[in-house]
Amino acid sequence: MKEIAVIFGGKSVEHDVSTITAHIPIIEALLASNKCDVWPVYIAKDGSWYSNKKMNALAYFKQPDFEEQLAREKKVGLSFDKGLSLVWPGIIPKTVRIDVVFPSMHGTFGEDGSLMGLLRMAGVPYVGCDMASSAVAMDKVFTKQVLTQEGIPVTPFVWFTKKEWSDEQAGLLEKISKLHWPVFVKPAHLGSSIGITKVKNESELENAIEVALHYDDKVLVEESVENLIEVTLPIMGNDTLRLAEVERPLNKTELFDFTEKYMSGGKKGGGANSAYSQIPAEIGDELTATVKELGKETYRVLGCSGIARVDFLIDSKANKIYVNEVNTLPGSLYHHNWKKAGVSSMELVLGLVSLAEERFKEQEGLTHTFRSDILDKIGGPKISK
Ligand SMILES: Nc1ncnc2c1ncn2[C@@H]1O[C@H](COP(=O)(O)OP(=O)(O)O)[C@@H](O)[C@H]1O
Ligand SMILES: [Mg+2]
For residues 195 and 71, state if they share a domain. no
Q: Is residue 148 part of a domain?
A: no
For residues 287 and 236, state if they share a domain. yes
For residues 246 and 321, state if they share a domain. yes
Give percent above pLDDT 90 in the chain: 82
Structure confidence by residue, pLDDT tens digits, 40-87: 999 999 999 999 999 999 999 999 999 999 999 999 999 998 899 999
In angstroms, the Cα distances linking 257 to 127, 191, 226, 252 are: 28, 10, 18, 8
For residues 117 and 190, state if they share a domain. no
Average pLDDT of 249-272?
51
Q: Which ligand is nearest to the CA of 194?
A: 1
User: How far is Cα 204 from Cα 290, in angstroms, rounded to an integer?
Assistant: 35
* Predicted local confidence at residue 270, as pLDDT: 41
Give ligand 1 pocket residues (Cβ under 6 A). 155, 184, 186, 191-193, 196, 222, 224-225, 228, 230, 252, 255-256, 311, 313, 324-325
Ligand 1 atom at minimum distance from 254 CA: 27
pTM of the model: 0.91
Average pLDDT of 318-341?
96
Q: How many whole angstroms from 269 Cα to the centroid of ligand 1?
A: 24
For residues 266 and 195, state if they share a domain. no
Residue positions counted in the chain:
385
* Predicted local confidence at residue 373, as pLDDT: 82
Task: Kindly report the protein residue whose alpha carbon is nearest to atom 22 of ligand 1.
Answer: 193
For residues 238 and 353, state if they share a domain. yes
pLDDT: which is higher, 375 or 132: 132
Ligand 1 atom at minimum distance from 194 CA: 22
User: For residue 45, what is the domain's CATH number?
Assistant: 3.40.50.20
Q: How many whole angstroms from 178 Cα to the centroid of ligand 2?
A: 25
Average pLDDT of 198-211?
96
pLDDT at 264 over 50: no
CB 74 within 8 A of CB 41: no
Structure confidence by residue, pLDDT tens digits, 3-48: 999 999 998 878 999 999 999 999 999 999 999 999 999 999 999 9
User: How far is Cα 216 from Cα 163, in angstroms, rounded to an integer?
Assistant: 12
Neighbours of 368 (CB within 10 A): 6
Q: Which domain holds residue 18?
A: 2-128
pLDDT level of residue 276 (50, 70, 90 thresholds):
confident
Give percent above pLDDT 70 in the chain: 94
Annotated binding-site residue numbers: 140, 184-186, 192-193, 222-230, 311, 324-325, 327
